[in-house]
Amino acid sequence: MNNDPLIIAGKAYHSRLLTGSGKYRDLDQTRDATQASGAEIVTVAIRRTNIGQNPDEPNLLDVLPPDKYTLLPNTAGCYTAEDAIRTCRLARELLDGHDLVKLEVLGDEKTLFPDVTATLEAAKILVKDGFKVMVYTNDDPIIAKRLEDIGCVAVMPLAAPIGSGLGIRNPYNILTIVENAHVPILVDAGVGTASDAAIAMELGCDGILMNTAIAAAQDPVLMASAMKKAVEAGREAFLAGRMPRKRYASASSPIDGTFF
Amino acid sequence: MQITLNGEKKSLDDGTHLSQLIEQLGIEGKRIAIELNREIIPKSEHASYEIKDGDTIEIVHAIGGG
């Protein structure tokens, strides 16, 4: 599938699986699972530096070096447009001008559903400020289109709540979003296991961003490998075009030439 | 002078520059970003920026997240 790159903001990627770097046991597991997933784009969070702790403690960027991975700073934990914008600007300074960001403005701690009005507001300001915005949103085709029109470089609808592992709850909305789009559509959140990833890709999604499905598996490195294959398999199945569904059987062996 | 660093009060000698604070914290050369009174201070200005009494400073880095 070398001739089928995922293009985000003009840059081509071989892998259609994007991973998060949270919830792993330790940094070794983060590195190993990320490698096994084949991901080229990896999300990171921006938080206060631990003042007064051991300054030699291992750093995330030691296992996810920015020259090897495209780091995607997120605005996780932000409940206002202002906090999200502030986080993106700090991330850009932190990563020497790197301007690809994952925008999420959350509405509620219980569901972690996006606050779409605040998301639209933040997206407008960030795009104007020169950021390349990959935006987390709900599975609403109208809002997805608005976010594209604002200038987001990728729109990332949830398939189910963040960290829920409930799978693709509304495949028809995801399909409508994909059909309407002129920017990459990536399912972000909700995938629980490999078949969920394959389903999202078979719907025509351009990629999937996941964290918990890998990190919270019993064996995260093995699940990362499974997800890599599922995303590739789902993509190939989408491109191949599935057979039509029929209610009754259709024999695979010819009827002609039977001798009984 | 008194400043607020990552949400906690801290005493500093008058005339301390941002780069000196970074050295005192043992985080020089680390990938960090600094916001002072809600304005980002670029790395290139850390050496010349003199911290003032009452400043609120946030020093952030990248950690695991989804």
* Residues of A catalogued as catalytic: 102
CA A133, A138, A143, A144 torsion-angle sign: positive
Please give the model's pTM, rounded to 2 decimal places: 0.94
ipTM of the complex: 0.94
For residue A112, which residues of chain B lie inside 8 Å, CB to CB? none
Q: What is the pLDDT along chain A (260 residues), one digit of tens a residue?
A: 568 999 999 999 999 999 999 999 999 999 999 999 999 999 999 999 988 766 667 889 999 999 999 999 999 999 999 999 999 999 999 999 999 999 999 999 999 999 999 999 999 999 999 999 999 999 999 999 999 999 999 999 999 999 999 999 999 999 999 999 999 999 999 999 999 999 999 999 999 999 999 999 999 999 999 999 999 999 999 999 999 999 999 999 999 999 99
Helices (H), A159-219: 171-180, 194-202, 212-215
**Strand partners of residue A152:** none
Distance CA A208, CA A39 (A): 10
| Domains in chain B: ranges and CATH | 2-61 (3.10.20.30)
Which of A147, A151, A242, A143 has its CA nearest to residue A201? A242
For residue A44, which residues of chain B lie inside 8 Å, CB to CB? 62-65
Shortest distance between the Cα of B45 and any Cα of chain A, in A, equals 12
When the pLDDT of each residue in chain A is averaged and rounded to a whole number, the result is 95
Distance CA A25, CA A27 (A): 7
Residue of B nearest to A44 (CA): B65
DSSP assignment of A42-79 equals EEEEEEE--TTS-TTS--HHHHS-TTTSEEEEB-TT--
Of B27, B64, B66, the CB nearest to A49: B27
Which of A21, A90, A95 would you mutate first to test chain B, the one with the most B CBs within 10 A? A90
